């Protein structure tokens, strides 16, 4: 049984070894009461897209400008961050909407703030003869995320509806971690691979193209505008105790994305220079592809519009994956989205 004590023990070593990012005092990193505002202990995946945004935010001083004191804590995997969050070792993490909805439906007090609508795609070589999903019949198809991954479920439903094709039996699916699948695709050991967007972006400069994107699958299910399926997940007690801090962080996040998107050309390059140190981009082409992918995923909908689109897509996923995918809630749990005064809905 994974008790609170056990979760704290599992995360203690990771948290204790976290380096203090530039611009953040050692006191702020260790003392929740430091500074003029409550410190937000934010769990981030090492080199993940959240780390890109926070690096740009702190480099530009947008955290302090909006009244936020951050204490970022890095984790090697998403699971480590989730364990830390559930153990109370951090106040917020970056995670996916389905996980947040499931955990809330199971009784955990939390709220969700949209971060990105960037999603993955089925990738093939640029010179591949594969043109449509129907062409995946008989092919070696890598699938990231496992048999219950939301993108895989949507791809199977799309293939069935559009081509009468049961991908599970008609193709030769291989389930594995994204880095392994990307490497196998490069080696020619796979004909195609369904991957997360950052891996798609890294493959594009190497001579690979999209066969179909997850955003195309979403539209195919009658959801005209893609919701943000990745967001900041805040502990509910923290959000209720410090709503102004969460709202200030939301404003700082939006301001950072605006600069990264080029709304403030004078600061955009400085912001990306800071973010690039977290991106593991070995060359300019990879950096450019990752940058474009991040910008494409910047939320364009209001919170109310995003929540409505997410509810539509959630209903589709609940039908496709059932309780094994979404847990006990057949619809988005009420109160999932955080929308205090000052955060536009």
How confident is the model at residue 341, as a pLDDT? 56
**How confident is the model at residue 264, as a pLDDT?**
85
* Per-residue confidence (pLDDT) for residue 35, from 0 to 100: 52
* β-bridge mates for residue 166, sequence order: none
Residue 228 token pair: 């943000």
Question: What's the chain's length in residues?
Answer: 345
The residue to which tokens 């190497």 are assigned: 206
Q: Which pLDDT value is given to residue 19?
A: 39
Residues of the chain with pLDDT under 70: 1-36, 340-345
pTM (two decimals): 0.87
Can you name the residues that pair with 112 across neighbouring β-strands? 233, 337
Q: What is the DSSP code string of 212-268?
A: EEHHHHHHHTT--SPPP-EEEEEEHHHHHH-HHHHHHHHHHHHHHHHHHTTSSHHHH
Amino acid 265: pLDDT: 87
CA pair distance 111, 288, nearest whole angstrom: 33
Secondary structure (DSSP) of 145-162: T-TT-HHHHHHHHHHHHH
In this structure, how many other beta carbons lie within 10 angstroms of the beta carbon of residue 67? 16
pLDDT value, residue 36 = 63
- Which H helix or E strand runs over 90? none
| Beta-carbon contacts of residue 153 (< 8 Å; ≥ 6 apart) | 317, 320, 321, 325
For residues 88 and 51, the answer to whether their CB atoms sit within 8 Å is no
Residue given tokens 């997410």 in the structure block:
310
Instruction: Say what the pLDDT of residue 175 is.
Output: 96
Paired with 213 in beta bridges are 121
């Amino acid at each position: 049984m994974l008790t609170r004590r056990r979760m704290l023990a599992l995360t203690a070593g990771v948290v204790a070894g976290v380096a203090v990012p530039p611009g953040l005092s050692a006191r702020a990193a260790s003392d929740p009461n430091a500074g003029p505002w409550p410190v937000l202990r934010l769990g981030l995946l090492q080199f993940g897209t959240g780390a890109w945004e926070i690096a740009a935010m702190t480099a530009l001083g947008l955290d302090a400008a909006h009244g936020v004191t951050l204490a970022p804590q890095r984790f090697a995997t998403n699971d480590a961050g989730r364990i830390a969050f559930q153990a109370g070792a951090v106040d917020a993490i970056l995670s996916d909407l389905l996980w947040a909805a499931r955990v809330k439906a199971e009784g955990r007090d939390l709220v969700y703030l949209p971060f990105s609508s960037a999603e993955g795609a089925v990738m093939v070589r640029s010179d591949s003869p594969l043109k449509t999903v129907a062409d995946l019949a008989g092919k070696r198809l890598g699938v990231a995320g496992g048999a219950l991954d939301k993108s895989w479920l949507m791809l199977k439903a799309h293939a069935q509806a559009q081509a009468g094709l049961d991908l599970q039996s008609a193709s030769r699916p291989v389930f594995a971690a994204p880095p392994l699948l990307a490497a196998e695709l490069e080696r020619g050991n796979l004909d195609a691979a369904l991957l997360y967007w950052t891996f798609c972006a890294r493959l594009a400069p190497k001579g690979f193209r999209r066969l179909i994107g997850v955003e195309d699958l979403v539209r195919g299910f009658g959801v005209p505008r893609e919701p943000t399926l990745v967001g900041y997940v805040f502990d509910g007690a923290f959000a209720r105790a410090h709503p102004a801090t969460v709202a200030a962080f939301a404003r700082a996040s939006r301001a950072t994305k605006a600069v990264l998107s080029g709304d403030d050309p004078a600061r955009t390059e400085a912001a990306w220079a800071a973010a690039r140190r977290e991106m593991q981009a070995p060359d300019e082409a990879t950096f450019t592809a990752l940058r474009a992918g991040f910008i494409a995923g910047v939320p364009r909908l209001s919170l109310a519009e995003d929540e409505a689109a997410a509810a539509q897509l959630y209903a589709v996923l609940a039908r496709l994956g059932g309780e094994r995918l979404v847990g006990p809630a057949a619809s988005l749990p009420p109160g999932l989205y955080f929308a205090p005064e000052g955060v536009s809905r």
